[in-house]
Structure 1
Amino acid sequence: MTSTPVEARAGSPVDSPVTLRATAAPGQPDVTPELEELYRGFEAELLVPLWTEIGDLMPAHPRSRALPHRWTWERLVRLAEGAGRLVPVGRGGERRAIALANPGLGGRPFATPTLWAAIQYLMPGEDAPEHRHTQHAFRFVVEGSGVWTVVGGDPVPMNRGDFLPQAGWNWHAHHNATDRPMAWIDGLDIPFQYLAEAQFFEFGRDGISGAERITPERSRSERLWGHPGLSPVGARHTAPGSPLLSYKWEYTDRALADQLALEREGHAATVEPGHAAVRFSNPVDGADVLPTLRAEFHRVARGAETAPVRETGSSVFQVFDGSGTVTVGDRTWTVARGDLFVVPSWEPFSARSEAGASDSDSGALDLFRFSDAPVFEALRLHRTTKDSR
């Protein structure tokens, strides 16, 4: 609201951020000089009556400020390549990360009111210096390989299809061990922690050690925690988030393929016909991999279409493979590998697969998704509904 000069109690003029206007409308009090005087008193004392705000504060259903929007991977990568030539990756800029800015959020670098998504780009031989922050984060690789993220001294390889979660307040750096640049997406809960005023950040070392500059095929975390259905008896993990720092594409791919194969054999295995899905989970307790972020992978068989779903909370999707059309609210787009799009709170979402052998290794539309669902579930605010077709 705009600032309006009003009279303070002592009679001296002040600026109040509260502006109230008496309006003639159903359910509102009659507009009289006495009401106007009452409103000026409210302004002076920084008071806002609920009857003037209830439509915005308590709507019948969520009305997100975020808007449905799509970013094409081809354009993102082209701009990231330009940044790679022009923008240093060292201290000061602190990562060559380019955030998605939702058109409904006033130019803030937020994909949704609670989620951050960015493309990060590392040139051949480059290091991204070490730091840590309270924001929970992950990396997802839609193409390429050759970068290792070093988390707490543990070098973790990043390859196409890998999902790499990292809970807040862990030291981390990246190094590109190849002669080719590499791009990936970062997801964090930066907007949520920003709005909650709970964030901390700390610089680490300017460079990583020789012992951390190795390029193992599997990280220490994978060797200890990356065995399906098996937990190490001699290891304890009490920190928030998953101790497994890389969820390999080969396991995700196999799980999705098996669900669709079981469906074809007549067994109940999928979300709905032609729609397989998995959730990345913490091997310690089966919970979400991060306290504030949920990550899933969806596979929609060629010709299949998902039923429209509405959920409280927001999501960001990236097309991993294939092509198709997606509908978010009243917007419909054709999407292809790498494209990202946003689903705001309570906007209906559906997808139709038009993928085939020419544009998809699986022959299906593969979608990576992350959302703020753990926050809404913890606060008992999560609600979902699926429209019948």
Structure 2
Amino acid sequence: MTMELDHAGVRAQLSSDASALNLVEFWEQRMEIEIEEPRPRAVPYHWQWSDIQPRLAVAARTVPIEECERRALVFANPGLSGKPYITQTIFAAYSLYNPGEQAPVHRHTPNASRFVLEGKGGFTVVNGEKILMSRGDLVLTPNGCWHDHGNEGTEPVIWVDVLDVPLVESLNATMFEFDYVEDEQRRTVQSIAAPSGHSTHLYSRGGLTPTFVDHRRGRVDHSPMFVYRWKDTRAALDAMSSLPGSPYDAITVEYTNPVSGGPVMQTMSYRSTLLRAGERTLPQRRTSSSVFVVLEGTGKTEINGKTFEWKPNDVFCAPPWSWYQHESTGGEAALYSVTDEPALKKLGLMRKQARNDDGTIFELEVA
């Protein structure tokens, strides 16, 4: 008995000493380290446009652009303890610009994009290329590219921003720069240095890549095509709509780098999905996380047994290793999505599983 008490006392002293030395006893933490499958802190969640739009309107009236520079309501996943992230690796927000407003030029290490929802007259200038934006257009502002954006129309413009901020932050590599210099003068906006339609003219014809230009536009490798038009994406989806598609992803296209054929950015993949009338996909789960924006139609998505009914401009997320499946309930539906899959593939951590109607689970991909 005395030996047992002595042993317990020694162990207690060891624990105290370890704590004082900023050490953790592995045997006390083992079950938190050697987990059998991912345990994401982010939870499935759905933000309804009908809830958000009136609040954005209030922000448009009461929050001056001079105060915020970029007027946005940021998605804060309720599983992430108030952090302004929609998943543990992705930041997303609804942004609104009133007529005449413009955010000052800046650049940063996180990759960023905007996906247009409402209004005409919105624009982004990326590395000297001015891009006018319409509903459903995807505009890229990759790592290291100077960009400014605003609204030269007569009505508010709203888009969804998506960045890999939490991923970059976890790697301690976040840097924002605002000291833009042109002709040895600090400026708040860029001069237009590229002809109108530059990205589209050079890169929008599938299978054809110009040989007479430098495709590197910025500090890292990413797509040199800074805008992907919804009219072209919708036409591609329509052209494929009679094909069987995937039982898990329906008719889905990925926005790709026209030079490499890979994803448009090193860390994120952007996609659009067409769900045909009444189509219901089979369940799948991935080690990547996904954010979905509803562009057309109505439907519902089941994530880990919880059903979210969605309409245009709604946003919802599927955290890593969450079973999810989509269903169109009102004719055709179109979803835009962003996933951190490229980052996981580069790290050798990408895994996809599917589940058939009989409950059988099988591997779709291990990369």
TM-score normalised by the chain length of structure 2: 0.89
Q: Per-residue CA shift, 1:185-205, capped at 9, x if unaligned?
A: 000000111111101111136
Q: Distance in 2 between matches of 1:89 and 1:143?
A: 18
Counterpart check, 1:115 vs 2:83: no
Aligned letter for 2:204? G
Q: Which among 56, 65, 78 is matched to residue 89 of structure 1?
A: 65
Q: Is the Cα–Cα contact under 8 Å of residues 166 and 290 in structure 1 kept in the other structure?
A: no
Q: Per-residue CA shift, 1:123-145, capped at 9, x if unaligned?
A: 01111111111110111113332
Counterpart check, 1:378 vs 2:346: yes
Instruction: Give the corresponding residue for 2:257.
Output: 282
Q: Is the Cα–Cα contact under 8 Å of residues 260 and 274 in structure 1 kept in the other structure?
A: no
Q: How far off its partner does 1:47 sit?
A: 0.9
Counterpart check, 1:39 vs 2:19: no
Counterpart check, 1:99 vs 2:74: yes
Greater CA drift, 62-71 or 32-41? 32-41
Instruction: Give the corresponding residue for 1:146.
Output: 121
Q: Distance in 2 between matches of 1:212 and 1:40?
A: 63
Q: Per-residue CA shift, 1:217-251, capped at 9, x if unaligned?
A: x5322222222221111012234211101111122
Match of 2:252, SS state, is strand
Q: Distance in 2 between matches of 1:61 and 1:45?
A: 31
Instruction: Give the corresponding residue for 2:224.
Output: 243
Counterpart check, 1:388 vs 2:356: yes
Match of 2:122, SS state, is strand
Q: Distance in 2 between matches of 1:75 and 1:297?
A: 24
Q: Is the Cα–Cα contact under 8 Å of residues 323 and 336 in structure 1 kept in the other structure?
A: yes
Match of 2:325, SS state, is strand
Instruction: Give the corresponding residue for 1:311.
Output: 286
Instruction: Give the corresponding residue for 1:49.
Output: 25
Q: How far off its partner does 1:273 sit?
A: 8.4
Q: Distance in 1 between matches of 2:202 and 2:7?
A: 70
Match of 1:127, SS state, is coil
Q: Is the Cα–Cα contact under 8 Å of residues 120 and 155 in structure 2 kept in the other structure?
A: no
Instruction: Give the corresponding residue for 2:161.
Output: 186
Match of 1:128, SS state, is coil
Instruction: Give the corresponding residue for 2:55.
Output: 79
Q: Distance in 1 between matches of 2:337 and 2:89?
A: 14
Match of 2:11, SS state, is helix
Q: Distance in 2 between matches of 1:274 and 1:282?
A: 21
1:265-344 → structure 2 map (5 Å cutoff): 270-272=245-247, 275-344=250-319
Q: How far off its partner does 1:89 sit?
A: 1.8
Q: How far off its partner does 1:208 sit?
A: 2.9
Q: Distance in 1 between matches of 2:340 and 2:141?
A: 15
Aligned length: 343
Match of 2:117, SS state, is coil
Counterpart check, 1:254 vs 2:235: yes
Aligned letter for 1:261? S
Describe the shift of the 1:326–1:273 C-alpha distance in structure 2 as closer, same or farther (beyond 3 A). Answer: closer
Q: Distance in 1 between matches of 2:248 and 2:13?
A: 63
1:52-67 → structure 2 map (5 Å cutoff): 52-67=28-43
Q: How far off its partner does 1:31 sit?
A: 8.2
The structure whose Rg is larger is: 1
- Structure 2: which 5+ runs fail to align? 1-5, 181-185, 358-367
Aligned letter for 1:219? G
Q: Which among 200, 215, 225 is matched to residue 203 of structure 2?
A: 225
Counterpart check, 1:368 vs 2:349: no
Aligned letter for 2:19? E
Q: Distance in 2 between matches of 1:305 and 1:354?
A: 9
Q: Is the Cα–Cα contact under 8 Å of residues 166 and 241 in structure 1 kept in the other structure?
A: no
Q: Per-residue CA shift, 1:257-287, capped at 9, x if unaligned?
A: 1222234xxxxxx112892000010001111
Greater CA drift, 108-117 or 322-331? 322-331
Q: How far off its partner does 1:206 sit?
A: 5.3
Instruction: Give the corresponding residue for 1:19.
Output: none
Match of 2:321, SS state, is coil
TM-score normalised by the chain length of structure 1: 0.84
Q: Is the Cα–Cα contact under 8 Å of residues 166 and 242 in structure 1 kept in the other structure?
A: no
Q: Distance in 1 between matches of 2:120 and 2:206?
A: 24
